[in-house]
Copies of this chain bind each other. A is one copy, B any other.
Amino acid sequence: MTHPLFAKHEDTLEHALAAIEARGYWSPFTEMPSPKVYGESANANAEATFKAQLNRTFELDQPSTGETVGAELSPYGFALGIRYPKADPDTLIAAAKAAEPAWREAGREAWIGVSLEILARLNQASFEIAYSVMHTTGQAFMMAFQAGGPHAQDRALEAVAYAWNELRRVPAEAHWEKPQGKNPPLAMHKRYTIAPRGLALVLGCCTFPTWNGYPGLFADLATGNAVIVKPHPGAILPLAITVRIARDVLRDAGFDPNVVTLLATEPDDGELVRRLAVRPEIKLIDFTGSTENGNWLERNAHQAHVFTEKAGVNQIVVDSVDDLKAAARNIAFSLALYSGQMCTAPQNIYVPRKGVHTPEGHFSFEEVAQALITAVEKLVADPTRAVELLGAIQNDGIDRRIDEARSLGPILIDSIAIDHPLFPQARVRTPLILKFDAAHDLPKFSGEWFGPISFVVATDSTEQSLELAGSIAEKHGALTLSVYSTDAAIIEAAHEASVRGGVALSINLTGGVFVNQSAAFSDFHGTGANPAANAALTDAAFIANRFRIIQSRVHVAPLAATAPVGQTA
């Protein structure tokens, strides 16, 4: 009775279930782009596939108007020229509704098995996805491979494991038998049917289309829903490849592939998305993007359960450090990594005006700022190495924001353009860091400046730094908070601030872990406890509302002995 794809991947599922419980390190997907794992020619083949796809129509056998859309630009300086089949939302809804009944009736083991098979095939396509992520988001190749491939697959698997953890707790049937004193007991057979919510909509972002898009997509699929995937117009290809693979697996498993469809669009698709998001058929929406759009969905798509990840202000509180150089190196790396275009990248770095203590002695505010500047300078000194860390700026808006930020205050280190050795037209920028003072600059640093823009903020004290960190996270949202202190009481106060701000805390990162990084199966990404996100990747709350339980009950013979007193055999 077990679905063959469930049986095929059951071992992976069991490991994932153990991992989300223990929350230690685990991953079934190799994060290094190793030829031994992925195949000797995997990289070359994927690059060739990517290049062959440029300036051609992406093949996807789903309902289409016959027209095509697509206007993606590589941040590395060229138009992709890829055209995608244009789809009418009404047609996609109708196709999904037609695919739904058989998908729903297939039941939980089929949903999980198909989801895991899609993941296995996505893993095999990691190099192809890496090139697609690199040339839509601007991530450097290594990050595009890791975050766009195996790490995104980890997050998807995590969602599938949470889904199964919820689904398996609902018994398929039960025997209910209530004693009635001297009378025969009342006995009923009960049957519990998992009812997926209906049609789901995944709204992708332009910086991490797969990493941020997969959890919702796989949570939906693993709980039996049909899904329309609407990528950001600037990063369609990674999700188009994903949808094509998902449809292949669905078809191979005997399902209508319209369980998953792609809605490719061009820029200025806001009105189309808003009309689609309030359609009565849409019961689940997963969104990553701007606060404005996320809030709109939360306030208007009442017919759906809406999961959002929006803007936030990530912060670092520097109180005292064991090793200033190591701390500065770690912070500089987290600022430079993908040019601060990670939703987890720090923005505000609070340093007491009177400086910080270290085992090497006292360092003034200016000296701490200088340590950070030096660390950034070292990271970006060699263009060939720098571009592999910085990647490229995803869009012109971020570039303009760097210009705008320059006038906000004194510049500690300016953002400069770097020539990419391989892509002369690539939009590569080093981090811009400004100096602020908490006494009068609060309005400038209490909102998000998405991109390679950060602020070293002088505060009266660590107490003020923590107060700012907690209150800004609480009011404006945050995905990460980081603290550096050698004082256990300050660490505990930072913990309190993180609880108040509803934000995950990293403590004294000076080594190979960076505040931007969030490890599947162990780190909860987002909390749902501040305005940056109304959900976490992934917890039970991310899953439990994606299905309902419909029960039936009918009388049956009691199991207990019911012979009336005095009856003879």
The residues of A with any CB-CB pair to B shorter than 8 Å are 21-25, 166, 169-171, 174-180, 186, 188, 190-193, 195, 197, 298-299, 302, 491, 495, 498-499, 502-513, 519, 522-524, 527-529, 536, 539-541, 543-545, 548-555
Q: How often does this chain occur in the complex, in copies?
A: 2
Q: Is the CB of B544 within 8 A of A539?
A: yes
Q: Is the CB of A24 within 8 A of B544?
A: no
- Decide: A505 near B551, CB < 8 A? Known: A519-B176, A540-B544: yes
What are the residues of chain B within 8 A of A512 when measuring CB–CB?
180, 186
- Decide: A529 near B22, CB < 8 A? Known: A190-B522, A524-B551, A544-B539: no
A493 CA to B191 CA in the complex, in Å?
A: 15
Q: Is the CB of B539 within 8 A of A549?
A: yes
Rounded to whole Å, the gap between the CB of A414 and the closest CB of chain B is 32
Q: Is the CB of A555 within 8 A of B513?
A: yes
Rounded to whole Å, the gap between the CB of A339 and the closest CB of chain B is 24
Q: Is the CB of B549 within 8 A of A511?
A: no
Q: Is the CB of B548 within 8 A of A529?
A: yes
- Decide: A176 near B302, CB < 8 A? Known: A166-B540, A550-B504, A555-B511: no
Rounded to whole Å, the gap between the CB of A167 and the closest CB of chain B is 10
* Residue from A21, A505, A508 having most chain B Cβ neighbours under 10 A: A505
What are the residues of chain B within 8 A of A190 when measuring CB–CB?
23, 522-523
Contact of A23 among B25, B176, B543, B548 (CB under 8 A): B176
What are the residues of chain B within 8 A of A195 when measuring CB–CB?
499, 502, 527, 529
A524 CA to B540 CA in the complex, in Å?
A: 19
Q: Is the CB of A197 within 8 A of B529?
A: yes
Output the nearest chain B residue to A511 by Cβ-Cβ distance. B555
Rounded to whole Å, the gap between the CB of A204 and the closest CB of chain B is 24
A195 CA to B158 CA in the complex, in Å?
A: 22
- Decide: A192 near B23, CB < 8 A? Known: A186-B511, A197-B529, A541-B544: yes
A25 CA to B560 CA in the complex, in Å?
A: 13
Output the nearest chain B residue to A166 by Cβ-Cβ distance. B540
Rounded to whole Å, the gap between the CB of A559 and the closest CB of chain B is 10
Contact of A548 among B193, B502, B510, B523 (CB under 8 A): B502
Q: Is the CB of A554 within 8 A of B508?
A: yes
- Decide: A553 near B175, CB < 8 A? Known: A193-B499, A499-B193: no
What are the residues of chain B within 8 A of A551 when measuring CB–CB?
504-505, 523-524
What are the residues of chain B within 8 A of A21 when measuring CB–CB?
169, 171
- Decide: A508 near B555, CB < 8 A? Known: A171-B23, A190-B23, A513-B188: yes
A509 CA to B552 CA in the complex, in Å?
A: 12
Q: Is the CB of A502 within 8 A of B176?
A: no
- Decide: A171 near B527, CB < 8 A? Known: A511-B555, A544-B540, A555-B508: no
